[in-house]
């Protein structure tokens, strides 16, 4: 499992790394859109949004939302609006996770109101992340470097949490949501991310003050990435499954791979724009 996980992650990083520099933002957007739509298909299955026809309709709905996201990427005010909505959404999710209590599933049916809420939650999870990633790549000459930094940050945080948690993990972080995650793993993620952020600040030529603020932003993004990870764990627990799918060897489905990134991406870009580090 670990070998498959490392090979898959290495291949994805290599492909995105090459693509970030040789492809346009529109082409990058199409590639990411394919992953988002695969994630939308998985989401519709996890949240029981109807049969096959209902799931196809939901993927089409997300496709329309992505077109709207692309239109907003061309407009600074529109992108900021999406990012602020994402900040409010993930902050609300964090509060909900703190109060989360498991409930017994009575049957396989989903009430109309709950189905609509699940559909909206999927859109708020996937579309702002896609918008942020494309806007990040589109943000001037340093766009590809910013995109690679964010992907590397999330990967370093995930790896730090995985290896430290596996070796030193004792205290459960959120036993009701994900029994395998530990506080020690979270500390490992933050330490590894801080070191990566310091290296990134030096590579971007930031001043000492900017580097300190940049490191703080990176750690905040990592904390939100944990929220994204735990949120998907909650959705899977409610669905009674271990993985969202089986598309990526060693990682499960697309949602299993992008859960952390979906929350980190809009928060990171919002911070960059607010700090005027990206245009």
Residue 192 lies in a domain: yes
- How many independent structural domains does the chain possess? 1
* Interval 101-127 mean pLDDT: 74
Burial class (CB within 10 angstroms; exposed 0-12, middle 13-18, buried 19+) of 156: buried
User: What is the per-residue pLDDT for 257?
Assistant: 80
Residue 66 lies in a domain: yes
Residue 153 lies in a domain: yes
Q: Give the structural domain span for 135.
A: 2-274
Residue 60 lies in a domain: yes
Residue 279 lies in a domain: no
User: What is the per-residue pLDDT for 251?
Assistant: 56
Span 53-62, pLDDT tens digits: 999 999 999 9
Span 30-50, pLDDT tens digits: 999 999 999 999 999 998 887
Residue 11 lies in a domain: yes
Residue 205 lies in a domain: yes
The pTM is what? Answer: 0.90
Strand-pair partners of 174: 178
DSSP for 139-179, please give it.
SSTTHHHHHHHHHHHHHHHHHHHHHHHHHH--SEEETTTEE
**Terminal alpha carbon distance of the chain:** 40
Distance CA 119, CA 66 (A): 14
20-35 core/surface letters (b: 16 or more CB in 10 A; e: else): beebebeebbeebbeb
Residue 85 lies in a domain: yes
């Amino acid at each position: 499992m670990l070998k498959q996980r490392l090979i898959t992650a290495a291949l994805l990083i290599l492909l995105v790394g090459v693509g970030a520099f040789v492809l346009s933002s529109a082409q990058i957007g199409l590639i990411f859109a394919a992953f988002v739509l695969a994630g939308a298909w998985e989401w519709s299955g996890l949240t029981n949004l109807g049969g096959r026809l209902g799931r196809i309709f939901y993927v089409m709905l997300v496709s329309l939302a992505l077109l709207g996201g692309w239109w907003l990427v061309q407009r600074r005010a529109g992108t900021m609006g999406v990012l602020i909505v994402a900040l409010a959404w993930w902050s609300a999710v964090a509060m909900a996770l703190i109060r989360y209590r498991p409930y017994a599933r009575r049957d396989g049916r989903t009430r109309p109101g709950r189905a609509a809420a699940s559909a909206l939650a999927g859109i708020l999870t996937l579309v702002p992340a896609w918008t942020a990633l494309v806007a990040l790549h589109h943000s001037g000459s340093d766009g590809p470097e910013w995109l690679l930094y964010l992907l590397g940050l999330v990967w370093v945080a995930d790896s730090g949490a995985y290896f430290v948690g596996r070796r030193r993990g004792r205290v459960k972080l959120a036993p009701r949501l994900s029994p395998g995650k530990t506080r020690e793993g979270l500390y490992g993620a933050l330490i590894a991310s801080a070191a990566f952020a310091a290296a990134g600040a030096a590579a971007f030529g930031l001043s000492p003050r900017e580097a300190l603020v940049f490191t703080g932003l990176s750690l905040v993004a990592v904390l939100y990435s944990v929220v994204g990870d735990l949120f998907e764990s909650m959705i899977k627990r409610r669905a009674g499954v271990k993985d969202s799918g089986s598309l990526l060897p060693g990682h499960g489905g697309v949602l299993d791979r992008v859960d952390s990134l979906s929350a980190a991406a809009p928060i990171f870009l919002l911070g960059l724009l607010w700090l005027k580090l990206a245009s």
